[in-house]
Amino acid sequence: MLICVRQLFFLEQTPDGKKLLHKADLKFKRSILTHEIGVTQKYNIILDHPITIDISRLYKGGSLLDFEKGGPARIGVMPRYGDADSVKWFEVESYCTFHLLNCFEEGEEVVVRGCKAPAAILACPELGENKFQWFSRGFNFQNNAQTSEEYGYLFHHVHEWRLNMVTGQVHEQNLSGTHFSMDFPLVNGDFIGLKHKFGYTQVIDSKESSSAGMTKYGALAKLYFDEEPLANHQMEGNSEQAIKIEYHKFEENVFCTGMAFVPKVKGSKEDDGWIITYVHNEESNMSQAYIVDASKFESEPTAVVTLPQRVPYGFHGLFVCTQNQA
């Protein structure tokens, strides 16, 4: 996690961590919390959204961390070894994005894909507010309406920003619609920074999350960025879904945490590999690892491994193949 307290430094080091290759002060004028950066073949992608850190606010009885609704938001495109003056900034709709799916260059555009919500779940409810009601309203699209300050503010969807490096124009689009909230996105690691066909996310069980007062993930999703949604996958109402999505749903009262893509050694296609995730059955109190064939996403897991102990919700990491280590 990156925390900016007045200054945000971009650092790059050697794979062994022994030598600093590049350091740049991005000269931010406010203290923000940003969780990830993106990369393309030539650029670093920087998120500047209105999740602010303010000690003076804390002194006045407020929160140290707060999401400033409607506050200014932008995305920066920085040359790989650039500095603050070399960043090209794009003003975008106010948003909260902790996790990026992927970024890549396409013609004159830099394409950024990530999970976007109208507000930050880390900001938490105001002091004295019922957290269960706060979660319930946050994940709920009342009467299938659009998000508002009162409802749907925690609902994450897969979002695309197309940043034109020549004209400075921005085109934004909700790709996954409003049927299911989703987060913790990833791609096949061989396609990081490159144009890709597929992406994967964890799907939030909004009902269970609302009643528990914490986020629970009851399924996985596979996104087909080059294909339109199938008619038989549509549900009642207008979901605004722009791409095809497949779901790998878990049994009742089974929830996952953490997800990784493991490529097949001799795979020839982008989705030749497995999705591995930890799951916990809240009825039996059993924890397991599910191994799902990414090319047969809606099928039963290829393998299930029972674990000797519980893996806490929220735990997540990265799969690194030995042959790719420095």
| DSSP sequence for 210-267 | HHHTS--EEEEEEEETTSPPPGGG--SS-----SEEEEEEPPTTEEEEEEEEEE-TT-
In angstroms, the CA 264 to CA 102 distance is 20
Residue 67 to residue 315: CA distance in whole angstroms: 24
3-class DSSP state of 73? strand
Q: Judge whether 318 lies within some domain.
A: no
Q: Which domain holds residue 40?
A: 9-306
- The predicted model gives 143-172 an average pLDDT of 83
Q: What is the mean pLDDT of residues 231-248?
A: 71
Instruction: Evaluate whether 116 touches 96 at the Cβ level (below 8 Å).
Output: yes
- The span from the CA of 269 to the CA of 263, in Å, is 10
pLDDT at residue 324 tops 70: no
In this structure, of 243-247, 272-276, 314-318, the range with the lowest mean pLDDT score is 314-318
CA 74 to chain centroid: 17
- Choose the weakest-confidence range: 122-136, 155-169, 193-207, 218-232: 122-136
Number of domains in the chain: 1
Nearest CA to 316 out of 217, 194, 210, 168 is that of 217
Tell me, yes or no, whether 25 lies in a domain.
Answer: yes
Does residue 138 surpass a pLDDT of 60? yes
Phi, psi (degrees; rounded to nearest 5) at 51? -100, 100
CA separation for the pair 178, 117 (Å, rounded):
11
Which CATH number covers residue 176?
2.120.10
Share of the chain above pLDDT 70, in %: 88
Higher pLDDT, 253 or 139: 253
Question: By C-alpha distance, which of 323, 320, 279 is closest to 301?
Answer: 279
Do the domain assignments include residue 325? no
User: Is 222 domain-assigned?
Assistant: yes
Which neighbouring-strand residues pair with 160?
A: 113, 173
253: Cβ contacts below 8 Å, ≥ 6 apart: 281, 282, 283
171 marked ligand binding residue:
no
Assess if residue 314 is contained within a domain. Answer: no
Say whether 49 counts as a known binding-site residue.
no
- Tens of pLDDT along 196-208? 999 999 999 988 8
- What counts of helices (H) and strands (E) characterise the chain? 3, 22
Residue 292 is assigned to a structural domain of this protein:
yes
**What are the backbone dihedrals phi and psi of residue 223, each rounded to the nearest 5 degrees, phi first?**
-105, 135
The residues near 41 (Cβ < 8 Å, ≥ 6 apart) are: 104, 105, 193, 194
pLDDT grade for 258, boundaries at 50, 70 and 90: very high
Global pTM value? 0.89
Under DSSP, the state recorded for 195 is -
CA 47 – CA 101 distance, rounded (Å):
13
Report which of 246, 271, 248, 250 is spatially closest to residue 261, judged by C-alpha positions: 271
Residue bearing tokens 């929160």: 63
CA 29 to each of CA 7, 26, 32, 45, 289: distance values in angstroms, whole numbers, following the listed order: 8, 9, 9, 18, 44
User: What number is the average pLDDT over the span 18-22?
Assistant: 85
pLDDT(219) > 90: yes
Strands 51-53 and 88-92: unpaired
Say if 2 falls within a structural domain: no
How does residue 33 score in pLDDT terms, banded at 50, 70 and 90? Answer: confident
Could you tell me if residue 64 is inside a domain? yes
- Average pLDDT over every residue of 303-312: 95
Average pLDDT over residues 236-265: 88
Fill in the DSSP letter of residue 283: T
Torsion angle of C-alpha atoms 50, 54, 59, 62, degrees rounded to 10: 20
Q: Is residue 128 very low, low, confident or very high in pLDDT (cuts 50, 70, 90)?
A: low
The pLDDT confidence band at residue 237, using thresholds 50, 70 and 90, is very low
Was 316 annotated as part of a binding site?
yes
The pLDDT tens digits of the residues spanning 65-116 come to 888 888 899 999 999 999 999 999 999 998 899 999 999 999 999 999 999 9
Is the CB of residue 113 less than 8 Å from the CB of residue 100? yes
Q: How far apart are the first and last CA of the chain?
A: 23
